[in-house]
Chains A and B, each alone.
Chain A
Amino acid sequence: AQSVTQLDSHVSVSEGTPVLLRCNYSSSYSPSLFWYVQHPNKGLQLLLKYTSAATLVKGINGFEAEFKKSETSFHLTKPSAHMSDAAEYFCVVSDHRNNDMRFGAGTRLTVKP
């Protein structure tokens, strides 16, 4: 069985300051991990994915995430927040053997001017 825990339901940052969205996972096998972003009334958009290659993964819009097996974490970071980053972010764990993707409950990011 696999699962994802997003440690913060809501994160608020000021524009230009760093962003950290935390995610811990549980998986019996080597997982694939993803971060998706969901803007209001828009579809889920893939930010980045980890599939057992480099542990530091760079995604779109300046986001990156680091896979830390020892900590079972896959935290999402960005050096400098932009107003357009305000959205809901989902961490996802997948076991490619059975096409099972498990979503976290989401973290709402607010960016203050």
Chain B
Amino acid sequence: GAGVSQSPRYKVAKRGQDVALRCDPISGHVSLFWYQQALGQGPEFLTYFQNEAQLDKSGLPSDRFFAERPEGSVSTLKIQRTQQEDSAVYLCASKSPQETQYFGPGTRLLVL
């Protein structure tokens, strides 16, 4: 009965570096979401998967952001050529059949 886990919990990157953030959803949850939470703000939707299919990526802020879920379980959010404005907490959530989203602890990304 483990919850959603994310790694790393903290990441410091130099501007221009590529980063990869991992999300392990609750076993059996079909739907997976990524959110970005800037300091002092509520989470904002980035992208959504149903199994391995990325059904909505309308929230991704630029083409430097890329997400995948190749086998329908673990998902990776990749940010290429990081910029300072990418600094935020990145949250992953998986959704139960009862339509409730369960969130991971997040990855705090700091771009210097």
A-side residues, CB < 8 A to B, are 32, 34, 36, 41-46, 49, 51, 90, 94, 96, 98-106
- Given that A99-B56, A100-B45, A104-B42 are known contacts, is A46 also in contact with B102, CB under 8 Å in the complex? yes
**Count of chain B residues with a beta carbon within 8 Å of a chain A beta carbon:** 25
- Scan residues 40-81 of chain B and give those whose CB is less than 8 A from a CB of chain A: 40-45, 48, 55-56
State whether A43 touches B3 (Cβ < 8 A): yes
Contacts A45-B103, A99-B48 aside, 12 further interface pairs with beta carbons under 8 A come to A41-B105, A43-B104, A96-B99, A99-B95, A101-B33, A101-B45, A103-B42, A103-B43, A104-B42, A105-B42, A106-B40, A106-B42
- Listed residue (B33, B44, B55, B103) with the most chain A CB atoms within 10 angstroms of its CB: B103
Min Cβ gap B58→A in Å is 9
State whether A101 touches B101 (Cβ < 8 A): yes
Q: Mark B74-112, 1 if CB is under 8 A from A, else 0.
A: 000000000000000001010100011111111000000
- In the bound complex, how far is the Cα of B4 from the Cα of A88, in angstroms? 20
- Given that A43-B106, A44-B91, A46-B100 are known contacts, is A103 also in contact with B3, CB under 8 Å in the complex? no
State whether A44 touches B103 (Cβ < 8 A): yes
Q: Mark B1-35, 1 if CB is under 8 A from A, else 0.
A: 00110000000000000000000000000010101
